[in-house]
Structure 1
């Protein structure tokens, strides 16, 4: 019962940090955005998400050459994407981040699908392995309570930046710029550049259309491509052959068709998939909170649980594993439109699309140059978001190494994917390899994080406050603490030193210890403990007796701490203060 209580508490929404609306947002999370603009913003998301529909077509081609089965698989996968979005949007209960994160088909799983196809596994066998991977992902979400340690800002930043790199790579593949593909002609390049130019001009126009920049640019690109004859040759035939209405036909999981190597690939890909999901949540979390300084674990943990349950559902119906559509999330950030209503409308549109193969075919058969332009444009915003995440804290040598190794590995996979595809297909994408390396580098070097510093002070000395301030500032600089953490540490030490001076303490030993995500400050002295911090501090306390003034000063020193406690022993006392970094 205690375990269940602990798990319930870890997912409780009451543990979420209060969020502050940033200035400049058009629509915040709970903003009742107008219906018509919300519909078009949702359509813009769907337009970006439709570019990802090719991701579901890739594993379908690996598992079967039948176009009808590929269409069936894609419709089921869109339905799984809609379920993922709906679970994330929930604002009550233990499931769902509560963030408006659009979804797509998880790119981290592509290598695993390729391994399944190479092993002769069919749709039923792949569904069984996705189902098992989803169960494992759901269980792992309960082990993410120390998210700030396992996936700190630097690792999350690497993940988000490599998502952007992966999207650029996908855009170049769609356009035919990768080896072994048909190079685009001059007219296709014209469509690409014109689409990006229109997106940028509309975004900078300052008009109401600025929020719809990608949709306007994509529509312009499609019209230009039709005028220049840059549409797929079989587009009309494929669309005409697709029915308007059809119920998606699920594939039941076939556990007898599973193979060990592809199953291992799916499980290995979970690390990158979960890191990618966490990166998507953090992107929206950071953009939606003006007071954001680091990840808020409960919301992300609920989001990861919903992510795992969605993968279970996808496996149960034979669909591709869903995950966050970070390009669409980046679009929301770029346009300042973070209202949940927009993504709810998009969820309904996706459900309708899943039952309409003809609409799915229209999205899939869009000109390649327009798809590439959309990905390249949006990926730039994602890379910027990742860079901001990675540099929230000062980058010391260790943090710089984590970022460098992760980015280096990811870019290596981007420029030379053949070797990885041949030997470790689960790590054949920049995101999969880079996320894995950054995660392992952070984990392996974590024991090297701990740093200590000590100081002996004479509180009665008139220079004690200045000495404490200079020592705290120098220690914070040497450790690369965030400016806010450095100020909190300095303020707390100076305030407590002044209180001890007023109580006649002759000497105090100060010890500071830095961990991965916190700073522990301890003070030991000979004498009585400090009074408890004021529960309801008031200015009148400063005019009260010594105890009231000291209680007010203790409150000032500890009000921003994660915890504060004292431990009397014989005639000595030790106070311990924990600050977040």
Structure 2
């Protein structure tokens, strides 16, 4: 049963008018025109599946554990700004509460949540802004900047849907690949022990190899059910190896022992003060978050749909909205700016489990950890090489997933340069020390390959679209064979427009049959023209001619019609056309008869 029908049925079963009204307000409206998604056969637990408790708790715990380890980002910002220990602890607890609530909202399928397994974490790109805000006005000013960013995200979410034309699959593919490249640097630094110095640490490398080796071995060779716990097993064994080799955090036991087991978070309201010098940096962070959200949601959509075609912008809009709500909560409680976790995407891929209930339970766990200071301290002290091994696996998956998106379309010369130059721009940030040579206010925008590569792809895609005709036509020569003519015409235009390979392949035989129908039935009085129009969402192909308008029967003709006269045979062929394309219409345009075939893109 489709999801929207299950939701409505569940609402009716409650039988309570007040509850019915609340659920109708929360449940998202049906996405009109959305095709039915085909579940990938490799998924163990799909988006709407019920996950048994024996698998649900470990799967959710893996996501929660990975998310809480990123509390190291606010710790780094607080350390850099010399924030007192009590305020640092308060910030961590507030952040855990906020990202837990935001994760729950994000994973639930409501009017404000994307409905995907998307986990919120502290945003690493927010470290420069947090350091400056803490230095200028303390934790109150940092909370105020986070609150303003959250409010801005609520407004920017309204602009997501019109961006579909700017975000074809090759642009999304560059963003996803650069997301993996962005994780490669911190992954390798942690894995090789370079975060403590310039020399590779053998013990750190061995612990990291143990972590990623166990994850890959279980993912590739283990039975399907054991793959669910690949990351958990890799992290556990890697942690043990790190402790045995002395690659753990020094003084970890003392730090854990000093923290209380249970404590109420000490929350701080934002101070109503503004620092105009921080506004440009705040605007850049809003843009960075938008690119990051689109990259993560596209990855999750593709993971849940074997026939993924393009970004589903309503879901992306809801994801941005929830990010805004999460940052408003962070601002009101003196937490740290948050965003979506690309690492959780890799974890979902490793376990082949994308059920939204996993994210909901993970959000509950993250929220509960805010009341357990000892657990927060313990999770932030996971050995750095272990985190590096997990990030290496995630980065590898994202790079390949982005390449798959890029190659899903026919690459013309224009798109080759869009992809190639954007990848080079992103890699330049990873390979060359360019960021330090820029003004301080622009450094966050050029701090990661993701932001540079994704924004370059968007700009180049707009630039190279100049001069591309979105409509094309050709006259069918006398005596030309329908199939070769339709194939050459559509493949040439598909290369020019960058249409999906499978859509062009499906359109060729259908268009050829329409040409044969008009030519063999004798209804065309003069030359036949083939026209095509492409707008990123549809491929419309028209067979235009002078003559009688063809009509398709409403009911299926009998097979004996194929043995009848030419008109009966044409009627049968016209009926078949209605089942070979997403939409077909017979009529007139500009005084000429036309058969219009539409193929969803």
Instruction: Please classify the TM superposition score into its range, dividing by the shorter chain length.
Output: 0.7 to 0.9
Please list the CA deviations of residues 484-520 of structure 1 after superposition, one character each: whole Å capped at 9, or x if unmatched. Answer: 2212332342232233232511322222244445434
SS at match of 1:426: coil
Q: What does 1:177-576 correspond to in 2, within 5 Å?
A: 181=197, 183=199, 185-207=201-223, 208-256=225-273, 258-415=274-431, 416=433, 417-420=435-438, 422=440, 424-427=442-445, 428-450=447-469, 452-457=471-476, 461=479, 463-464=481-482, 466-477=484-495, 479-501=497-519, 502=521, 504-506=523-525, 507-531=527-551, 553-554=573-574, 556-557=576-577, 568=588, 571-574=591-594, 576=596
Asked whether the equivalents of residues 144 and 150 of structure 1 are also in contact (C-alpha less than 8 Å), the reply is: no
Report the CA distance between 1:66 and its aligned residue. Answer: 1.6
Task: Find the aligned partners of 1:164 and 1:83 in 2 and give their Cα distance.
Answer: 26
In structure 1, what is the Cα distance between the partners aligned to 2:590 and 2:41?
53
Structure 2 distance, partners of 1:17, 1:179, is: 47
What is the CA–CA distance in structure 2 between the aligned matches of 1:414 and 1:469, rounded to whole Å?
Answer: 43
The separation in 2 between residues aligned to 1:123 and 1:562, in whole angstroms, is: 56
After TM superposition, the structure 1 stretch with the greater mean CA deviation from structure 2, 292-301 or 446-455, is 446-455
Give the superposition deviation at 1:335: 2.2
1:98-247 → structure 2 map (5 Å cutoff)? 98-117=115-134, 120-174=136-190, 181=197, 183=199, 185-207=201-223, 208-247=225-264
Greater CA drift, 417-426 or 132-141 = 417-426
Work out whether 1:22 is the aligned partner of 2:37: no
Shift of 1:368: 1.6
1:5 is matched with: none
Structure 1 residues not aligned, in runs of 5+: 1-7
- CA–CA distance in 2 between the matches of 1:529 and 1:175? 69
Note the residue ranges of structure 2 that are not aligned, 5 or more in a row: 1-24
1:305 Cα shift?
Answer: 2.5
Q: Select which of 71, 75, 91 maps to 1:73.
A: 91
Is the Cα contact below 8 Å between 1:44 and 1:215 reproduced in 2?
Answer: yes
Does the 8 Å contact 2:192/2:201 carry over to 1? no
Query: Matches of 2:476 and 2:129 in 1, distance apart?
Result: 60
Q: How has the CA–CA distance of structure 1 residues 499 and 83 changed in structure 2, closer, same or farther, with 3 Å as cutoff? A: same
How many residues in Structure 1 have an aligned counterpart in Structure 2?
Answer: 568
Query: Counterpart of 2:3?
Result: none
Contact 1:225 1:367 in 2 (8 A): yes
Give the alignment partner of residue 12 of structure 1, picking from 24, 29, 32.
29
- Structure 2 distance, partners of 1:536, 1:64, is 77
Give the match for residue 39 of structure 1. Answer: 57
Per the TM alignment, residue 362 of structure 1 is displaced from its structure 2 partner at its CA by 0.1
User: What residue is the counterpart of 1:4 in the other structure?
Assistant: none
Contact 2:296–2:340 (8 Å) recurs in 1: yes
Residue 443 of structure 1: CA displacement? 2.8
Cα distance change, pair 282–308 in 1 and its aligned pair in 2 (3 A): same
Q: Report SS of the residue matched to 2:473.
A: strand
Query: 1:364 Cα shift?
Result: 0.6
Deviates more, 1:58-67 or 1:152-161: 58-67
Distance 1:122 1:555 in 2: 72
> What is the Cα deviation at residue 63 of structure 1?
4.6
CA contact (8 A) 1:11 1:298 kept: no
Instruction: Report 1:85-96 matches (<5 A).
Output: 85-91=103-109, 93-96=110-113
Q: Structure 2 vs 1, CA of residues 275 and 534 (structure 1 numbering), >3 Å: closer, same or farther?
A: farther
Post-superposition shift, 1:39?
A: 0.9
Task: Name whichever of 550-559 and 366-375 sits farther off.
Answer: 550-559
Aligned partners of 2:101 and 2:364 also within 8 Å? no
User: What TM-score, normalized by structure 1, do the two folds share?
Assistant: 0.88
- Distance across 2 between alignment mates of 1:465 and 1:577: 16
Residue 122 of structure 1 and its aligned partner are, at CA, apart by 2.5
Question: Any conservation in 2 of the 1:62–1:113 contact (CA below 8 Å)?
Answer: no
CA–CA distance in 2 between the matches of 1:539 and 1:330?
A: 53
Aligned-residue offset at 1:347 = 1.5
CA distance in 2, matches of 1:421, 1:181: 27
Q: 1:171 to 1:61 in 2, by over 3 A?
A: same
Cα deviation for residue 350 of structure 1 reads 0.7
Q: Distance in 1 between matches of 2:540 and 2:279?
A: 43
